[in-house]
Amino acid sequence: MKKYDIVVIGGGAGGLTVAAGAAGLGASVALIEKEKQPGGDCLHYGCVPSKALLQAAKEVYNARKAAKEFGLHLSGDIDFGVAKKRVIDAQKIIEKHDSVERFENMGVDVYHGEGSFITRNEIQIASQHQETMKIWGKRIVIATGSRPSIPAIEGLETVEYITNETIFDLDAAPKRLAVIGGGPIGLEMAQAFSRLGSEVNVFVRSNTILAKEDKELIPVALQELEKEMIFHFQSQVTKVEPIHPSGSIRLHIQYLATDDKNIVKRETTLEVDQLLIAAGRTSNIESLGLEKIGVETQNGHVLVKDTLQTSVSNIFAVGDIIGKYLFTHAAGMEGKAVIANAVFGLRNKAQYDSLPWVTYTDPEIYHLGLTEDEARCKHVDNLEVYKVNVDDVDRFVTDRQSVGILKVITDKKGFILGAHAVGKGASTWMQELVYAKQYKHPIGNVSKVIHPYPTHGAILQRAADQYWRKKLFSGFLPKLAKKYIQWFR
């Protein structure tokens, strides 16, 4: 049985970060990956293909919009094959960074198959292409990711629904698409297919989308999204059935509303050509045999300490399976923390306070830190809120972008508690605030940074300027300055 300093189960963002980092530090490393090509959900079904498709759809949308505005005439049907080829091309380029050859050149032994625990140090690797084998690891890192959650809907097994793992296999944009779920995956794919020619209906069980976002920003984003798709709030798809011979799907929908404290139910049906399930994620932990070795789980996730150590001291877990933040960059950050802990026995903690995330709709929705409601719960009234609309910033005006807002929440001293935005390119220009928050620079410092004119990032300077206006031009300072000026004359 071959022995290793570090065994990593799962070749997604978190697992690859650990494998590369540990190997670079001189540890002997084994990587177990069930797919032929490492890269995880992000490369194969998530970040990479979805953003490639979103960009293709955005170009189609902007071309139509520009043609209409400038009196041009566009004709013809969209070639979905072009959009699909863009997805494949992007994956081929990026997968080189995650290739088996690259990791083998680092000194990592890559095993294809599914890993499961025999003991706290022994891993069994089962593969269809070779005999089952065993390896031994001094430290083991679980990074097996997640998969789409499939809700219990009557008749779902009778139709060919799609998820984020199969949507990119489509050969054409469906004429009528239904999306179950109002989270980032559902919204991004809904908008992409709407722009590629689909009539899109989105079904959301609550009365809003993106429940984790600052509630003041959601109406701004929703105002734009509702121009491109139909939302069904407080709705539930209770049953689906195939329609022969067309191959379309009939949805049975139940709406729940409150009338004088009573729940009122209304039912209807809708026929669509394709159904996308985007109703959350489920951790891939069932086949690991965690119960045999005493690794504790809760609600389908692996329980970890702040150091990402499980209840079994030599075993760590990162990424979606711990159920904290299901983002590629979160898994990468966790992987970096684990490298030091697993290789050198340190006790670095995963830090989530300055972890941002983005919903890549158009406009983009950016989240950093606490929402205003969360901040008020934690800091009572000891906070300040600064807001700037995009149409107050010259570069957005020249780009004819009138919809969007920046909101920054700070304590009384100006240290950032949270920052949120809806707007074109928010994923790029908001990063300055991530740096300021993480390294404890007050918002006022952003005002002192020289921003070239005109840029979208000037919106951050506008917010920071509000801090100084409030600090310098209210209270006793203006009176003191007036007296000083009179004296100085």
User: What would the 3-class secondary structure string for 383-435 be?
Assistant: EEEEEEEHHHCHHHHHCCCCCCEEEEEEECCCCEEEEEEEECCHHHHCHHHHH
Domains of the chain: 2-148+281-344 (3.50.50.60), 156-277 (3.50.50.60), 363-472 (3.30.390.30)
Using pLDDT thresholds of 50, 70 and 90, give the confidence band for residue 475: low
pLDDT for position 396: 95
- pLDDT tens, position by position, 92-128: 999 888 899 999 999 999 999 999 999 999 999 998 7
Average pLDDT over residues 215-220: 96
Using pLDDT thresholds of 50, 70 and 90, give the confidence band for residue 272: very high
**What tokens were used for 400?**
């004819």
Closest to 179 (Cα-Cα) out of 91, 246, 249 = 249
Whether 182 has a binding-site annotation, put simply, is: yes
Low-confidence winner among 24-33, 270-279, 328-337, 463-472 (lowest mean pLDDT): 463-472
Cα separation, 293 vs 119, whole angstroms: 6
237: pLDDT strictly greater than 90: yes
Whether 145 has a binding-site annotation, put simply, is: yes
Low-confidence winner among 17-26, 91-100, 164-173, 214-223 (lowest mean pLDDT): 91-100
Average pLDDT over residues 301-314: 96
124 by Cβ neighbours in 10 Å (0-12 / 13-18 / 19+) ranks as middle
**What average pLDDT does the chain have?**
93
The continuous run of DSSP H or E covering 44 comes out as helix 40-44
Whether 280 has a binding-site annotation, put simply, is: yes
pLDDT for position 290: 96
pLDDT for position 226: 97
- pLDDT tens, position by position, 309-323: 999 999 999 999 999
487: pLDDT strictly greater than 90: no
Average pLDDT over residues 265-277: 94
480: pLDDT strictly greater than 80: no
The three-point CA angle 329-334-339 to 5° equals 125
Whether 51 has a binding-site annotation, put simply, is: yes
Q: Read off the pTM.
A: 0.93
- pLDDT tens, position by position, 341-355: 999 999 999 999 999
Whether 181 has a binding-site annotation, put simply, is: yes
pLDDT for position 129: 75
Using pLDDT thresholds of 50, 70 and 90, give the confidence band for residue 479: low
DSSP 230-268: EEETTEEEEEEEEETTTTEEEEEEEEEEEETTEEEEEEE
Whether 188 has a binding-site annotation, put simply, is: yes
Using pLDDT thresholds of 50, 70 and 90, give the confidence band for residue 476: low
Per-residue buried b or exposed e for 194-223, using 16+ beta carbons within 10 Å of the residue's own CB: bbbbbebbbbbbeeebbeebbebbbebbbe
Whether 286 has a binding-site annotation, put simply, is: no
76: pLDDT strictly greater than 80: yes
SS3 209: coil
Cα separation, 379 vs 417, whole angstroms: 10
261: pLDDT strictly greater than 70: no
Asked, as a colleague might, if the bond just before 442 is cis with ω within 30 of 0, I would say: no
Region of 335 on the Ramachandran plot (φ > 0 left; ψ -120 to 50 alpha; else beta)? alpha
20 by Cβ neighbours in 10 Å (0-12 / 13-18 / 19+) ranks as buried
